Amino acid sequence: MKMLEGITVLELGQVIAGTYGGVILADLGAEVIKIEPLRGDANRNAGIAPVHGESAVHLFMNRNKKSVALDLKSAEGLDLFYRLVEQADVVVDNFRPGVMARLGIDHATLKERNPDIVTVSITGFGEYGPATARPAFDLVVQAFAGHLDITGEPDGPPSRVGVPLADIAGGMFGCLSVLAALCGRALHGKGDHADVSMLDSLVSLLSYDALDHLNTGRVVTRQGTGHAHIVPWQAVPTLDGYVVIAAREEKFWQRLCDAIGRPDLKDDPRTVTNVARVANRNFVNTVLEDAFAQRTKDEWMAVLDEYDIPAAPVNDLSDVFSDPHVRARGLVRSYDHPALGHVRYPASPMQYSDWQFPNDSAPMLGQHTAAVLTERLGLDRETVTDLAEQGVVGVWEPQVAQGTRQT
């Protein structure tokens, strides 16, 4: 048995926030059925991160899912969706507020069809409030939530986090909302609706810095790789790259002093405590930069490991995926795509002892339309073909693959 086997999720996700949580649920064994418009969802835009004619966003975000293409604006397509809802556990969307109601598939309407249904709507700014109607993408929300202002070098412009943090956080909190609602339904006997905002998610991730500001009025300033409250906690240049040091506890600072050949710093008033080091940050930085400039990144990592100091090389992606530890952890998997052949991807970070995750390809548009409608709703193939000819559904027909690519 898979962890979530028997749970059916209808996903109306159009971009990362609406699909990332679905990847987690699908990895855990839920049957995640993407309900896509006949043109496909926005993640299929091959102009963004193209991989041999497909989008890397789609190839990652939609693995282990099924694709059913429906025209929800047609009466026939809407009726098919309602019938699927009657058999489902969860409906997830990330349309703008009000779209689900206009389509006739909001929580109140779907609950009439299935009283136990769980619905989760992931939006940029939430379903109420002055900014609710504003268009939102990851960069917009990172800026609005204050993350750009606290990210970057102290004397540089604001910077975004390198990954789409707002999208991913919205997807993760969306997944948590699904799991919590399913647990609540099992315990208390009713479904529920969750309003998940990318903005709310990022404000929550401000965590203790937000608490500090709210209670003291202190402003969080950009520190680059540094830390406002801990020194040393930063990237340091070596002869051929950077390493990061995270000497959060005094024992690590004292070991670092020995590692760089400066035991005198253990008793220096400027560096004897973390409070002193924060006050004399520039002095500490100069000492470290002078020391680390004498050796290569690998040489310093050998020394830091010997002294058991929390540190790491600043890896590029090639370094990451060739690292022996990453390889040993099985963090790269692959699936066979109908058009592209062998596709490698970063695996789920969750690992269980008694079962392994499914490993199905991101689907072609409408790849599972016929199978889902025949198996779940009892339609025959002729009816599905008629619906496709009427433009109510989209059906992908497999072709003999020739010259599939290895990615």
**What are the catalytic residues?**
167
Q: Rounded distance, CA 192 to CA 119, Å?
A: 6
Alpha helices of 145-249 — where are they, by DSSP H?
Answer: 165-188, 198-205, 207-216
Give the strand pairing for 311-313 and 242-246: antiparallel
Rounded to 5 degrees, φ, ψ at 19 are: -120, -25
The strands making up 8-12's β-sheet, listed across from edge to edge, are: 193-197, 118-123, 90-93, 8-12, 31-36, 66-70, 393-394
What number of CA atoms fall less than 13 Å from residue 286's CA on the CB side? 6
Indicate the residue type of 32: V
Element (H, E) at 143: helix 138-144
Rounded to 5 degrees, φ, ψ at 382 are: -65, -40
Q: Which residues contact 354 (CB under 8 A, 6 or more apart)?
A: none
Q: Rounded distance, CA 145 to CA 232, Å?
A: 27
DSSP 132: T
Handedness of CA 331, 336, 339, 341 (dihedral sign): positive
How many residues in the chain? 407
Residue 59's SS3 state is helix
Please list the residues that pair with 197 across neighbouring strands.
123
Q: Rounded distance, CA 20 to CA 42, Å?
A: 13
Cα 369 from chain centre = 27
Indicate the residue type of 363: P
Instruction: Say which residue the tokens 């002055």 belong to.
Output: 130
Q: Rounded distance, CA 393 to CA 407, Å?
A: 31
Burial class (CB in 10 A: 0-12, 13-18, 19+), 402: exposed
Cα 119 from chain centre = 20
Structure tokens that stand for 140 in this block: 């917009």
